[in-house]
Structure 1
Amino acid sequence: MTLDLRIFTEPQQGATYDDQLAVAQATERLGFSAFFRSDHYLAMSGDGLPGPTDAWTTLAGLARDTSTVRLGTLVSSATFRHPGVLAIQVAQVDQMSGGRAELGLGTGWFAREHSAYGIPFPDKRFGILEEQLAIITGLWGTTVGEKFSFSGEHYQLTDSPALPKPIQPKIPVLIGGGGPRRTPALAAKYADEYNQSFPEIDAIGPRIEVINKALADAGRAPESMVQSVALVVAVGQDEAEFARRAAAIGREPAEVREHGIAGTVAEVVDRLKALEADGVQRVYLQVLDLADLDHLDVIAREVRPQLG
């Protein structure tokens, strides 16, 4: 299996729908397998102009403005949407895209975006995530004509028709997080993919071993779970081009080399091959300069062909 490269964006830092569309269409044209975006409502730095765009509203538009690339979130926050509403939204995007939607879901972590937009942010959120996963997958998995009900600490659903249905038999569900026990068990129960977002490079292999043990404990084979990482990307055809791209996203060359997928083409190929040797099957390349579409071209033309 060739290492799967996906493009991952952070539009809350400042991007219109058209900015994201240009990247998504380049992602599709250049043969990357997916366009993913974060699900945030507040910039982590800078002014964030022109302001945030809602993740699932954006993906609904992209569902109609692209034709082959897969579309998803890394990751949606369980605090943002009622699980019944999110199940409907994702199923609709799946229908609108002809079966290309994927759902990444997490507890949420950025308290300031919640206070900025009046969204409740409970101290304890893991139980909310657990119930949302049970509800969303339960709604999608209910046979047409049957009803779905759920009674939990956080949510109650009574006699839901569990509609609409996705086109895909099963929309892939992505879970991440660094917890030692509960998160791996939750991933083993519900997820098709486990993602490590911005990990230390030497921690990736050991974390995959933890997830594989959780899968074994749950009676699942390791190959039933896609192992992925998300890392910032900055690639240059030479040192000067790399340094320019690092500067454009406010990163020092040495720092981004250490913590991301960064450097010259040869260095990036080596890093990706090392990740694959650690058990990584999919890499989300965090593209922070959405105006630099040539960057995607370099990765597609110079890096990807060397990965096998």
Structure 2
Amino acid sequence: MWNAIDMPLDFRIFTEPQQGASYDDLLAIAKATEDLGFDAFFRSDHYLSMGSASGLPGPTDAWTTLAGLARETSRIRLGTLVTSATFRHPGVLGIQVAQVDQMSGGRVELGLGAGWFEEEHKAYGIPFPSKRFGRLEEQLALITGMWETPAGETFTFKGEYYELIDCPALPKPAQSQLPVIVGGKGPKRTPALAAQFGHEYNAAFPEIDSIRSRFTVIRDACEELGRSPDDLVYSAALVVCVGRDEAEFRRRAAAIGREPDELRKHGVAGTPAEAAEVIGRAAEQGCERFYLQVLDLSDLDHLDLIAKEVIA
């Protein structure tokens, strides 16, 4: 039976800065992520807070943030879950991501999605087209096409939404193949995009026992395309909330405005032993990489606990 339980697991810290975080807050989390032995620091790409969060001191731009972190970290990988295809022209995004990859010495990964949060588009005057999936498909083709164009040659692309004519397709990423992450729940189009363009498929906040079936759909799409399903990394993003005992767990749950029972049902939550058990169950379902969504960015002791008493 296919699973990841006997493979080395990859653990990444995933943040939601739109809920309220400065660059300095994110830098502190990223440095703790590196010092504690996690594999990567990722952030969302949003400009408006959600729920009751104030969002203070205001939004930080994902790729501006990652450019700074590229120069202030040395080991961890850096990326987005996920960049919204509505925010940036793909030609510009291709330049930005390649440059940040160069600045990091080849540690960047691009998660790219269609975009969904209409309110933030209205708030900042960003167009929010009703049909977005076709734009996402063209962006994936355009950006990867730019990066794959040999130096000294030009790249021309003509789609329904975007057109490039004799683009120099520069700069190139430092990595010969910069990883692209595709996620989503769609039964047909998302698997097709993951199989065609992805180096990784990410299941966002799945029910643990549904992970295998989500991954199976992606693997089947790879086989239909004639690609080995094992070419992809299979990952999941899950909220994390852990306490050394029940009282500490409940205190952390209250700090992020979540119910303890709900966290235990849907996330990596509870005591260290409980959290490790959830990770084990997900690995048995085929999950090789975990994006642990940390919602209280001021609680660095939480990361220390996760690293030393859950992952270790």
Q: Are 1:263 and 2:270 counterparts?
A: yes
Q: Structure 2: how far apart are the matches of 1:90 and 1:173?
A: 11
Runs of 4+ in 1 over 4 A off after TM superposition: none
- 1:69-93 CA distance string (max 9 Å, x none): 1000000000000000000000000
Q: Structure 2: how far apart are the matches of 1:220 and 1:269?
A: 33
User: Which residue of structure 2 aligns with residue 177 of structure 1?
Assistant: 184
User: Which residue of structure 2 aligns with residue 99 of structure 1?
Assistant: 106
- Which residue identity does 2:12 align to in structure 1? R
Q: Structure 1: how far apart are the matches of 2:83 and 2:101?
A: 16
Given that 2:208 and 2:281 are in contact with CA atoms closer than 8 Å, whether structure 1 keeps it comes out as no
Q: Structure 2: how far apart are the matches of 1:222 and 1:238?
A: 40
Q: Are 1:24 and 2:24 counterparts?
A: no
- Pairs within 5 Å for 1:1-308: 1-45=7-51, 46-305=53-312
Q: Structure 2: how far apart are the matches of 1:231 and 1:244?
A: 19
Q: Give ranges in structure 1 of 5+ residues lacking alignment.
A: none
Cα distance, 1:202 vs structure 2: 2.3
Q: Structure 1: how far apart are the matches of 2:122 and 2:304?
A: 39
Please give the secondary structure, in 2, of the residue aligned with 1:230: strand
Question: TM-score under structure 1 normalisation?
Answer: 0.98
- Which residue identity does 2:65 align to in structure 1? T
Does 257-266 or 196-205 show the bigger shift? Answer: 196-205
Q: Structure 1: how far apart are the matches of 2:206 and 2:280?
A: 17
Cα distance, 1:304 vs structure 2: 1.1
User: Which residue of structure 1 aligns with residue 4 of structure 2?
Assistant: none
Cα distance, 1:201 vs structure 2: 2.2
Q: Structure 2: how far apart are the matches of 1:116 and 1:34?
A: 31
Root mean square deviation of aligned Cα: 0.6
- Which residue identity does 1:202 align to in structure 2? D
User: Which residue of structure 1 aligns with residue 3 of structure 2?
Assistant: none
- Which residue identity does 1:165 align to in structure 2? K
- 1:112-157 CA distance string (max 9 Å, x none): 0000000000111000000000000000000000000000100000
Cα distance, 1:241 vs structure 2: 1.1
Aligned residue pairs, count: 305
- Which residue identity does 1:195 align to in structure 2? N
Question: Could you tell me the percent identity over the aligned residues?
Answer: 69
Q: Structure 2: how far apart are the matches of 1:241 and 1:223?
A: 40
Q: Give ranges in structure 2 of 5+ residues lacking alignment.
A: 1-6
Cα distance, 1:237 vs structure 2: 1.2
- 1:280-299 CA distance string (max 9 Å, x none): 00010000000100111111
